[in-house]
Amino acid sequence: MCQTNCTTVDFRKVTSMNTALRLAALVSCSLSLASAGLVRAQDAAPDPAHAKFLAGVSAFQARHYPEAEADFNAAIQLTPDNADAHNALGIVYDAEQKYAGSLTEFQTTVRLRPDNPDARYNLAVALDRRGQTDDAIKEMQTATTLRPKFYTAQYMLGRLLEKQGDRDGAITAYRAAIEAKPDYVPAHYTLANALDDSGQHDAAQAEYRETLRLDPQNADAHNAMGNVLDVQGHHAEAAQQYRAALRSRPDFALAHYNLGLALDAQGQTAAAIHEYRTALKTSPHLLLAQTYLDKALAKQTLAGQKTASAKPAASRAVRLAEADRLARRAQAAREARTAQTPTAPAMPTPPPAQTRLARGTTLYNEGKVPAAITVLKQAVAAAPNDPVARYRLALALDDSGQQAAALHHYRTALRLKPTYAAALVSLGTSLYLSGSRTEARQEWQKARSLGSPEEKYNAEMLLKTYP
């Protein structure tokens, strides 16, 4: 690593995994690149190629990306095997969102310097950018083999493994990152999340507390700790954590929503209403905040605004079931209003099926679930390849307690339309309520990467709120 006279090209942040991925730093010491080990430190003066390279570094630092791109390309024209220039050009392409070019440059860098862990790290990030996560994992594993104390690579290996469903492997990688750098906050926080997701709640709390010891203002950790406490029924302590999160990040919509739930559970309806409204003001697409706001307002009205007489809220599972029922009706209503009825290309939905689907949706939205089921079954019989008809029948069946039949139609809808985010969310909720929490979270994770901003946000909220 550089010790003196270093010029560091900023880390580029990548958000393909809903978290900040970092490209390895491109570091120059005087006239050398010590971190990559590719330029001779004894060079007394830059040759033309190196001069272009240094000009590119300066342009990149000034965020003059087209100039940096031109300078690094010029360096490569003069010295085609200049691994530093290829690596730097890859970073510039990433900054310009030219991801195909970025991947090519990092592949070239690895070909020229296969034993360089930073090059392997950058290639791994670029591969994940392109959806090649399995290949990205292999490159990140190589980076950690080449440099076992490469804590950022260990951390990112954990993120990649967790993305692929290997939570145990992710936990091992996060712990390796912490061993290499005990005060590395991101590794403590993600380890806590992984432990919590795997049911190791006491170990998760210990990691959340360590995260907060190292970073007392970490709003995400305060919010996550609040979720763990709230699930355990410690609503007052959870509220303290949510408030701490909001002191650090006043516009944290999810913390406002969670604080509302914790207050609602203690019978503090008026305060909960305030938090739900604040969450919605910050993030209008937080659907469940609107659901609970409506419920709290109704409760307050029925109680004659005597919040002291309000009973504590039901368990989180019951609250989820109630909220999901209303949310699903809202989703069906939105779909009906926008008249979006996608069908399999080979078998368009005939007009009679459309009529039945519309009628069944209306009945469902009116709360006439048994009648809706009858009509929606007719719609499915008329158009068995219509994913929307399958989905809405599943909703109605789920509401009536016919979960096995509902699961069948959710899964059929998703077989017909794998990217149907609303169906993924509802399937996950139904699975969660039946006790299949791991499978439920897998469905929510799929939904988080698909759909509208509202659907993505709702899936993210469900993942954070219901471990």
Those residues whose C-beta lies under 8 Å from the C-beta of residue 128, and which sit 6 or more positions away, are: 14, 16, 17, 21, 136, 160
The burial class, CB within 10 Å (0-12 / 13-18 / 19+), for 449 is middle
CATH code: domain 216-309 is 1.25.40.10
pLDDT of residue 449: 76
**pLDDT band of 396, cuts 50, 70, 90:** confident
Sequence spans of domains, the chain: 6-147, 216-309, 316-465
Q: Cα–Cα distance between 363 and 232 in angstroms, integer?
A: 38
Residue 43 in contact with residue 88, Cβ under 8 Å? no
Q: What is the pTM of this model?
A: 0.60
Mean pLDDT, residues 281-299 taken together: 78
Cα angle 238, 240, 241; round to 5: 65
7 φ/ψ angles, rounded to the nearest 5 degrees: -115, 120
Architecture of domain 6-147: Alpha Horseshoe (1.25)
Is 6-147's fold the same as 216-309's?
yes
Chosen CATH of 316-465 out of 1.10.260.40, 3.40.50.1370, 1.25.40.10, 1.10.10.10: 1.25.40.10
Q: Which tens digits make up the pLDDT trace of 174-233?
A: 999 999 999 999 999 999 989 988 888 889 999 999 999 999 999 999 999 998 888 788
Instruction: For residues 112-119, give the mean pLDDT.
Output: 94
Which run of H or of E encompasses 40? Answer: none
237-259: pLDDT as tens digits: 999 999 999 999 999 988 999 99
**pLDDT of 317 over the 70 cut:** no
